[in-house]
Amino acid sequence: SKYTKEDIIRIIRENDVKFVRLQFTDIFGTLKNVAITTSQVEKALDNKCMFDGSSIEGFVRIEESDMYLWPDLDTFVILPWHTRHGKIARLICDVYKPDGTPFEGDPRYILRKAIQDAADMGYSFNVGPECEFFLFNTDEYGHPTTITHDTAGYFDMGPSDLGESCRRDICLTLEDMGFEIEASHHEVAIAQHEIDFKYSEALSAADNILTFKMVVKSAADSHGLCATFMPKPVYGQCGSGMHTNMSLFKDGKNAFYDPDSESGLSEIAHQFIAGICKHVKSISAITNPLVNSYKRLVPGYEAPCYIAWTTCNRSALIRVPDTRGVGTRVELRSPDPACNPYLVFAVLLQAGLEGIREGMTPPPPVSANIYDMKEADRKKLGIENLPADLIDAVECMEADPFIREVLGDHVYTKYVEAKRQEWKEYTTRVSQWEIERYLNKF
Ligand code: ADP
Ligand code: MG
Ligand code: MG
Ligand code: MG
Ligand code: MG
């Protein structure tokens, strides 16, 4: 590993760090943190830092609430922004029970299990996410709005792009924290941006997404803007996705690449795609977790709605970009940045591994633009739709024992319960749309 306990204690002392944030997430991927002063750091590094799990959504009941945070030393970083009270560092933690076993409700543990299953088969799992987000104005009280003065579009440059200096700030901050930024650009919708960082092994990729969101939110704040990863904040505009690029490596080589096959894609890549296709509907409630997520997955906005894969266009759910060799990868285009990345990578990896273990064959790739096809033609080709809304997705999830298997009973039960409740709240509310449409007419 990158650091020892002693290294961290020394770095903290040498840099005059005053606080350390111990971070973890709840099952919905919300970042939680316990701040400690440096006097408590040795205790924390000895895995002796306790917190009350009953106050965290999706964790545990009062009777069994004591949880321990075990810092992952490799995640140590000094936050590069300045505060009046000295420097702050952070450590991402695994959550353990008092008996010293991992807590089943910790999303990082669920991903670790999937990674171990892959390792048992000789694979490591690499993920490169493309996170999109919006930068909006805040109102006079500093509250978020969906208002923007931005008028730029895809790949546009300043001065029309008011978010540009904020975006530049985000990139520099992330580089200070050790990220390799591959690209950053204005996205299709007004006020929408994308920043791509280099792929890494799945656990650190998921950690990076949490760090990324934290940095984006904080940079937006210091520019008087607000950042949102809500999947579809503005009707009639493109929503924000989190395209997920994946590959398996074996013995240091990309196992999706086969120079001897016509397409350059290996048998393993095909089997991995087959596994994802098989479970993609039941995975939707994880990759697209909100009521709002399904308002992004509609035709006309470059977001996928049909289950198909392709090597030659950008409209399909699963795309294999042209790159071969070490960059050979499978891109799943449905996930959105409101997801819990630990759970998403765990279910995707396990689905792909199942495809490999069972030697599955994917449906034939589709080269035509699926959005131009009539429904009857899609039916003929056996192209199914993704779930239409959150409740449809939850029902697909319940119909597939695979998800419960991967998440474990604890997270599965809490997740389904919470999502059903979210749906019920949504459907019983009277929306602005209803008022506009019905109030005067009836
Ligand atoms: P797009 O062409 O879909 O816009 P981007 O260039 O924005 O794609 O992002 C591609 C992502 O894929 C980056 O995060 C990159 O690091 C990642 N990537 C490249 N090679 C691999 C690989 N072998 N496995 C997983 N991810 C990869
Ligand atoms: Mg991109
Ligand atoms: Mg690109
Ligand atoms: Mg994009
Ligand atoms: Mg993409």
Given a cut of 70, whether residue 157 has pLDDT beyond it is no
Residue 187 confidence (pLDDT): 87
Residue 274 confidence (pLDDT): 98
Residue 84 neighbours by CB distance under 10 Å: 4
SS3 state of residue 131: strand
Q: Which of 400, 406, 356, 364 is nearest to 381 (CA)?
A: 364
Q: What is the mean pLDDT of residues 313-342?
A: 94
Q: Name the residue with the closest Cα to ligand 1, atom 26.
A: 128
167 CB within 6 A, ligand 1: no
Q: What is the mean pLDDT of residues 263-278?
A: 97
- pLDDT tens digits, one per residue of 226-257: 999 999 999 999 999 999 999 999 999 999 99
- Specify whether 398 is catalytic: no
Residues with Cβ < 8 Å from 374, sequence gap 6 or more? none
Q: What angle do CA 361, 201, 35 make, to 5 degrees?
A: 135
198 CB within 6 A, ligand 1: yes
- Specify whether 429 is catalytic: no
**Which ligand has the nearest atom to the CA of 269?**
1
333 CB within 6 A, ligand 1: no
**Of 315 and 122, the one with more pLDDT:** 122
From the CA of 185, how far away is ligand 2's center (Å)? 9
Given a cut of 90, whether residue 368 has pLDDT beyond it is no
From the CA of 129, how far away is ligand 5's center (Å)? 8
Given a cut of 60, whether residue 317 has pLDDT beyond it is yes
Q: Which residues pair with 23 in a beta bridge?
A: 33, 92
- Specify whether 6 is catalytic: no
ipTM above threshold 0.95: yes
* DSSP structural state of residue 54: G
What number does the ligand 1 atom closest to the CA of 129 have?
14
**Which one is catalytic: 72, 106, 130, 336?**
130
327 CB within 6 A, ligand 1: yes
From the CA of 128, how far away is ligand 5's center (Å)? 10
Name the average pLDDT for the chain: 93
Residue 338 confidence (pLDDT): 98
SS3 state of residue 19: strand
Given a cut of 80, whether residue 387 has pLDDT beyond it is yes
Joined tokens for residue 356: 């490999």
187 CB within 6 A, ligand 1: no
182 CB within 6 A, ligand 1: yes
State the amino acid at position 65 in one-letter form.
Answer: S
Given a cut of 60, whether residue 160 has pLDDT beyond it is no
- Specify whether 168 is catalytic: no
Q: What percent of the chain has pLDDT over 90?
A: 80
Q: What is the mean pLDDT of residues 114-128?
A: 98
